[in-house]
Amino acid sequence: MQFKDVVGHDDLKRKMLRSISDNRVSHAQLFYGPEGTHKLGLVLAYAQYLNCENPSETDSCGICPTCIKYNNFAHPDLHFIFPTVNVSSSDKSTSENYTEKWISYLKSNHAHVSLSSWVTYAWEENKRASITVRDASRMIEKINLKTYEGKLKVFVVWMVEKWFHAAAPKLLKTIEEPPANSLILMITEDYENVLNTIRSRSQLIKIFKYPNDIIRNTLVDKYEVSAAKAANIARYVNGNFYKALEESKEISDFDNTSNYIDMMRSAFQVMQKGGGIDNLDKWVIKISKKSRDEQINFLKYSIELTRQNFIKGVDESMVSASEEEMGFMKNFSPFINSKNIDFIFNELNKSILHIERNGYSLVIFMDMVLRIGSVLKR
Q: 272: domain CATH number?
A: 1.20.272
Burial class (CB in 10 A: 0-12, 13-18, 19+), 154: buried
Which residues lie across from 31 on neighbouring strands?
Answer: 187, 205
Position 337 confidence tier, pLDDT thresholds 50, 70, 90 = very high
Distance between CA atoms of 150 and 83, rounded to whole angstroms?
Answer: 26
Single-letter code of the amino acid located at 325: E
What confidence tens digit (pLDDT) does each residue in 134-183 have?
999 999 999 988 888 878 999 999 999 999 888 888 888 888 888 888 99
Give the mean pLDDT of 357-370: 94
pLDDT band at 367 (very low <50, low <70, confident <90, very high): very high
23, 145: one domain: yes
pLDDT tens sequence across 236-255: 788 999 989 988 887 666 68
User: Of 118, 182, 194, 180, which Cα lies nearest the Cα of 156?
Assistant: 182
Same domain for 278 and 155:
no
Is 196 a domain residue? yes
- On whether residue 202 sits in a domain, the answer given is yes
Determine which helix (DSSP H) or strand (DSSP E) holds 304, and give its type and residue range: helix 292-314
Q: Is residue 378 part of a domain?
A: no
The pLDDT, as a whole number, for residue 124 is 80
Calculate the CA dihedral of residues 334, 339, 340, 343 and round it to 10 degrees: 160
Range of the domain at 264: 256-373
Q: How many domains does the chain have?
A: 3
Is residue 188 domain-resident?
A: yes
188 and 133 in one domain? yes
CB atoms under 10 Å from CB of 18, counted, come to 10
pLDDT tens sequence across 307-330? 999 999 899 888 887 788 889 999
pTM exceeds cut of 0.85: no
253-284 per-position pLDDT tens digit? 668 888 999 999 999 999 988 888 999 999 99
The residue-averaged pLDDT of 11-35 equals 94
* pLDDT tens track for 47-61: 999 999 999 999 999
User: Are residues 222 and 297 both part of a single domain?
Assistant: no
Query: Does a structural domain hold residue 167?
Result: yes
With b for 16 or more beta-carbon neighbours within 10 A and e for fewer, the 27-55 pattern comes to bbbbbbbbbbbbbbbbbbbbbbbbbbeeb
pLDDT at 158: 96
Domain presence at residue 112: yes
For residue 90, name the pLDDT band (cuts at 50, 70, 90): low
pLDDT for the residue numbered 67: 95
The CATH number for 28's domain is 3.40.50.300
Conformational region of residue 35, where left means phi above 0, alpha means psi within -120 to 50, and beta covers everything else? beta
In-domain check, residue 136: yes
Does a structural domain hold residue 26? yes
Closest CA to 78 of 22, 1, 13: 1
Is pLDDT of 213 > 80?
yes
**Cβ contacts of residue 24 below 8 Å, gap of 6+?**
none
176 lies in the same domain as 276:
no
Say whether both 241 and 329 belong to one domain: no
| Identity of the amino acid at 299 | L
3-state secondary structure of 28: strand
- Domain end point (choices 186, 221, 249): 249
CA distances from 252 to 248, 256, 285, 324 (A): 10, 10, 17, 19
State percent of the chain over pLDDT 70. 98
pLDDT for 253 equals 60
Residues 145 and 241 in one domain: no
Residues 46 and 163 in one domain: yes
Collapsing DSSP to helix, strand or coil, 315 comes out as: coil
Tell which of 195, 228, 249 closes a domain. Answer: 249
Tell whether 192 and 62 lie within a shared domain. yes
What pLDDT is recorded for position 150?
76
What stretches of 58-209 show up as alpha helix (H) in DSSP? 65-71, 99-109, 115-123, 133-143, 168-176, 196-199
Which H or E run includes 206? strand 203-206
- Whether residue 291 contacts residue 224, with contact meaning beta carbons closer than 8 Å, is answered with no
- Residue bearing the bigger pLDDT, 352 or 227: 352
| Same domain as 152, residue 23 | yes
Chain mean pLDDT for the chain: 90
Do residue 231 and residue 274 come from a single domain?
no
Looking at 208, 236, 267, which one is the last position of a domain? 208
Q: If pLDDT is split at 50, 70 and 90, which confidence band does 285 have?
A: very high
32-46, 61-75, 134-148: the lowest-pLDDT one: 134-148
Same domain, 260 and 352: yes
Task: Quote the pLDDT of residue 251.
Answer: 60
Sheet order of strands, 182-188 included = 78-81, 153-158, 182-188, 28-32, 203-206
